[in-house]
Structures are given as structure tokens and as C-alpha cells.
A and B are shown apart, each in its own frame.
Chain A
Amino acid sequence: MEVAEKGTWTVKKGLAEMLKGGVIMDVTTPEQAKIAEEAGACAVMALERVPADIRAAGGVARMADPTVILRIMDAVTIPVMAKVRIGHFVEAQILEQLGVDYIDESEVLTPADEQHHIDKHKFKVPFVCGARNLGEALRRIAEGAAMIRTKGEPGTGNVVEAVRHMRMMMAEIRRVQNMPREELMALAKEMGAPYELLLQVAEQGRLPVVNFAAGGIATPADAALMMQLGADGIFVGSGIFKSQNPAARARAIVAATTHYNDPQVLAEVSKDLGEAMPGLEIATIAPEQRMQDRGW
């Protein structure tokens, strides 16, 4: 029998390809994980607190207790992701040991390193990282991220930052595509992006990995907006379990992500969902409290 190769780039990137067109939901208990799975989530993110509560609690936010993660892994058959602090490669070693399916090196937690991200190539488990623009996305991919998501502004229920980041990324991709090749080196330097990856973007007209939207998505319309702007899929953090009727809202966001181009379906699923999570105006957040500025 031929030798099987595990943890290859194809396999890491491939799982993200399978999540496309789907919704990944933040959950804090096995019960919530089951509600998410029942509603059609394509994966869950296991956390101790959703971003809105992390924001409210303040202090240092760290990787969740392994017990919380393991209980959620036991509760569902869909992939389970979990977060580590930026640069905290030992938290990542622990999550890999637990057998989580994807690691989110996330700005939602308090960074452990203010200069360096994790060398994600060293791991068999794939990583997803946040980015606000093309340069940041390509730096993360060069470090080994097999999936990218916008950062948005987590825990706010305000989609404006995710829109800003997705528009920025798409505009930069279009710009790169239309550039004469000799100008790409100067742009790579300006963006702080690896040249080889930038060349790939120019040739393919998209990121070399799957690109999801995250940070502030609270309604089916928000999800469809991000999909129409070019997202490959959706992360919903606080938006579901901080709303009045999580099961109905989760189901509606799943439908809106699949049928994002179909206003008839969007109108139907947006009805009678109860109150969305309370939103936060970005201007009221002190600059040092903005999670999106974490990461380098």
C-alpha cells in the first residue's frame, strides 16, 4: 500500500475549500454547538466567551480551557475550530494535540507576541488568520495560513469594518490583476507582501486560499452582503448566540449565505427573527480597544 501523506498543503487548504459557501459559528457550550449543527453550520468555533463578552470583560483573553473544546468536539460531527493568541505557538501545539480541525490565530484574543505570528507551516493542523488588506493576507499565507478571513471589528454586531476590509482586499486584487508585471515588485515592497504570492494573485485573480468574511456579521442580510462583495463564506461570532432567537437566526444566516444572490429567499428568511444582537458604533470604541489593529 502506498504511503499516505498527512498535513500537506493540499489537505490543509482543502478543508477550507470544503467549508466554502457555509457558515462557521462561535459556540461556547455543547448545547450551542448542537443548535449550530442543526441549523446547518459547516463548522463551529469553540470558545469560552464570544467576542462581545470578551470585549465587555476586558483583561487578557486566552485560549479556551481544553475541557470546553473537547466537550464541543464530542457533541458534533462537523469540524471544530478553536482560537489561539497571535504568536502563541504553544497554545497551538496544545490545540493540535487535542485534535481540533482548524486553528484560528485570532486578534479576538490578547496577542502574545507583538512582532511575530506563529510559523504555521510547522503544524499538521491548518490555520485561519484575519486580514484587513491584501498585504496582510499574503503575509499570513506565507507564514502558512491555509485560510484567510477579514478581521472586521469582532463583537460589535456592526458589519462596517468587515465591509471595509473585504472591499479593500478585492480592490487590491483587481488592481494587481491589471498591473504590468514590472510594477509588481515595487507594490510587493509597499504592501509588505511576498512577491511570489503577489504574482500568483495577479495570475489567478484571487487569493491563493479561501477567503471568508468575519467580524460584526449579525443578520442574514449582512451575510449575503459579504458574499456579494466576494467572500467565500461567513464566520458569525457573537451574532447568533447574543441574539433573541439563536436557532432561527442561525438557520436564516445559513440560507442567506447559500442563496446570497436571491433577494426573494433573503426577504423570506429575514422575517420574524426577533432582536439581533445589540450593535456597537465603531467610533465609540477607544483606539486601544480595537481588535482589528492587532496583528502585524
Chain B
Amino acid sequence: MLIGVLALQGAFREHQEMLSALGVESRQVRKPEQLEGIDGLIIPGGESTTIGKLLQDYNLFEPVRQKALQGMPVFGTCAGLILLAREILGSAQPRLGLMDMVVERNAFGRQVESFEVDLDVPVLGEKPLRAVFIRAPYIVSVGPGVEVLARYGDKIVLARQGRFLACAFHPELTDDTRLHRLFLEQC
């Protein structure tokens, strides 16, 4: 199995380290031809405006969208979640729009409000998941085809739509590999 990690900006190295800990090969994706032959794509955390701009400038938007629509599994964390959303509140920034959800950026506040917390994620079992939220977004609402997998308080922070998985926090910054394994089951 070969997983692509979008490496335009952000925490792509951490995702690669996590995949390698799981014995899975990965490849950095910066250009369309690097999408060839991958079994899934991770869009890491970073600045969603920066990543969106670079996706546009280097003609990656359509190739990623097309491959995803043809069945390539995609996992977006934080900025990746924003890029996967159909609608971003108050923003016209470029997005892939693959998941039927409305998201809000920087929804918990600025960096001093960033936090970590033990999160209940029933689909991963009883043990809570340590979730690191950094200037994080959350999912305001989802369409009928989207499964809500975790909430923090009343806010949706993990969701799945078919082969697309999105979380508002950073599993790649912890040692817990369960969410990555959940994604790899789709690949």
C-alpha cells in the first residue's frame, strides 16, 4: 500500500512518520503526477489558505478532486478538514468540497485558546483519543450522507462520508495510531 501525503505546507512529516510506524509506505505529493499509483491521500494540518493557494497554483485541485470522485480515499486533518468541506463559513477560499458539510475556521479562538482533551470516539473503542486542537475548525453541520464519529461538547470534530474522513484535531501529533488505522481500512 502506498499513501500520498499532500506536502505543500504544514505537518506532512508527522503523518509520514505515523504511517511508517504502521508499516505503510508514503509519498510526498506536490505535483499532479505524484498522485499516480497512490491508494489514498492525507491532507495534513497547516494553513488552509496557503495550502488552497498552492493547490491552485500548481494545478492540483482538479486532479485530486477527480481521483477522489473516482474512489481514492482521502483523510483531512484540521486544514485538511477545511479543504474537504463543501462550505466554509464567511470564506470564499478555494476548497475541494468533497464532503457535504459546513465548517467554521479558527472556531475555538486564537492560539491561546488551543487545547488538548480526551475525546470519546465510539468507532475506535472505549479508550478515549487524545485530541490536540490548534486554532482548530469544527463542523457546524453535515448533510444526510455524512456520519458523525465524534463531538467535543456539541461540536462535531470527526466525520466520515464514504471513503472520506475528516477531523478537526491532530492525531499525527500524538502516538495514538487508531484514527490512521481507521483510514487505512478504506484504502
Contact = CB atoms under 8 A, between A and B. Distances in A.
Interface of A: 1-8, 10-11, 14-15, 17-22, 37, 39-43, 77-79, 96, 99-102, 124-126, 251, 254-255, 257-259, 262
Contact of A43 (B47, B57, B117): B47
A296 to B, nearest CB: 27
A11 B46 contact: no
Interface in B60-114: 78-79, 91, 105-106, 109-114
A4 B116 contact: yes
14 contacts: A2-B117, A4-B115, A6-B115, A10-B173, A15-B111, A18-B10, A18-B79, A21-B46, A22-B9, A37-B49, A79-B47, A100-B111, A125-B112, A259-B30
Contacts of A126: 111
A73 to B, nearest CB: 8
B135 A258 contact: no
Contact residues of A: prevailing secondary structure? loop
Counting chain B CB atoms within 10 Å of each CB, the highest count among A4, A39, A100, A262 belongs to A4
A101 B119 contact: no
A258 B9 contact: yes
Given A18-B79, A259-B30, A254 B116 contact: no
B135 A2 contact: no
A14 B28 CA distance: 20
Contacts of B58: 255, 259
Contacts of B150: none
Interface of B: 7-14, 30, 45-47, 49-50, 53-54, 57-58, 78-79, 91, 105-106, 109-119, 128, 132-135, 152-153, 170, 173-174
Given A11-B132, A18-B47, A78-B49, 6 more contacts: A7-B114, A14-B134, A18-B78, A21-B10, A77-B106, A255-B57
B95 to A, nearest CB: 14
Nearest to B152: A1
A234 B178 CA distance: 33
Contacts of A125: 111-112
Nearest to A76: B49
Given A40-B49, A77-B106, A78-B49, A18 B134 contact: yes
